[in-house]
Structure 1
Amino acid sequence: MAVLRTDGQDLVLELTLGEKIWSLHGNLRMPLSAVRDVSVVPAPLAAVRGLRAPGLAVPFRTKIGTWRRRGAKSFAVARAGRPAVRVVLADMPFEELVVSVDEPERVARDLRRGRR
């Protein structure tokens, strides 16, 4: 399962090998100063909008990879039945991250604290 954490002044999304393969992407690292909002999303599959390109989508189960819609691009590692953390970004290649994680409330709280 993906891990979303802070490392000094950076936000890091660490993907498992399978997630890297299915998303055709590596780990993501961006400055915490790019984070505009952090929230917990109870239904992450519905929160991921747009067309998959590239990535994996198993209906009603999982969405992994890049999701594009007019004027915006998101990165998702979303799983059914697993709440996620949504991170809204500014001036980055992805406008948001939607990541199912263990203990999403704690992860969101830690990210908010790290932005200060």
Structure 2
Amino acid sequence: MASVEITADRIRVRLSTAEKIFALRGDLSFPRTAVRGVEVVPNAVTMIRGLRAPGLGLPGLRNVGTWRGRAGTEFVTVRAGQPAVRITLSGQPYDSLLIGSDDATTLAGRLR
């Protein structure tokens, strides 16, 4: 499961080894000033937007990777039954991140 580290000026999403393999990418890092919005998503596996390319998609169970759609490019790492935090970004390779977290409400509060 991904972990989110927040410092005074940066946010870093550390992926597990399996997530790195499935997503075909490494950890993500971006400045806090790039955050434009944060929302809690209760049932994240049903709220993914776009088509997977590349990544792992087990419908209704587990999704990890990049999703591309009309709303932009979104990095996703979520599993069934787990809430998530959607972080909307500007000026970054991803337009948003959908990160699963057992305590999504607390994480969202820390990101705001």
Work out whether the TM-score is over 0.5.
Answer: yes
* Alpha-carbon RMSD: 1.0
Q: TM-score, normalised by structure 1?
A: 0.92
1:1-116 correspondence runs (5 A): 1-70=1-70, 72-112=72-112
Deviation at 1:8, TM superposition (A): 2.9
| Distance (Å, rounded) in 2 between the aligned partners of 1:75 and 1:2 | 12
Unaligned runs of at least 5 residues, structure 2 = none
After TM superposition, which residue ranges in structure 1, 4 or more long, deviate above 3 angstroms? none
Higher relative contact order (CA 8 A, sep 6+): 1
Secondary structure in 2 matching 1:22: helix
| Distance (Å, rounded) in 2 between the aligned partners of 1:70 and 1:111 | 25
The answer on whether the counterparts of 1:4 and 1:101 sit within 8 Å (CA) in structure 2 is no
Name the amino acid aligned to 1:54: P
The answer on whether the counterparts of 2:77 and 2:99 sit within 8 Å (CA) in structure 1 is yes
How many percent of aligned residue pairs carry the same amino acid? 41
1:27-79: CA deviations, max 9, x gaps?
Answer: 00000000001111001112211111000000110110000113610000011
Unaligned runs of at least 5 residues, structure 1 = none
| Distance (Å, rounded) in 2 between the aligned partners of 1:108 and 1:71 | 21
Name the amino acid aligned to 2:18: G
| Distance (Å, rounded) in 2 between the aligned partners of 1:24 and 1:77 | 12
| Distance (Å, rounded) in 2 between the aligned partners of 1:71 and 1:88 | 11
| Distance (Å, rounded) in 2 between the aligned partners of 1:106 and 1:57 | 27
The answer on whether the counterparts of 1:35 and 1:89 sit within 8 Å (CA) in structure 2 is yes
| Distance (Å, rounded) in 2 between the aligned partners of 1:104 and 1:8 | 20
The answer on whether the counterparts of 2:53 and 2:67 sit within 8 Å (CA) in structure 1 is yes
| Distance (Å, rounded) in 2 between the aligned partners of 1:71 and 1:35 | 16
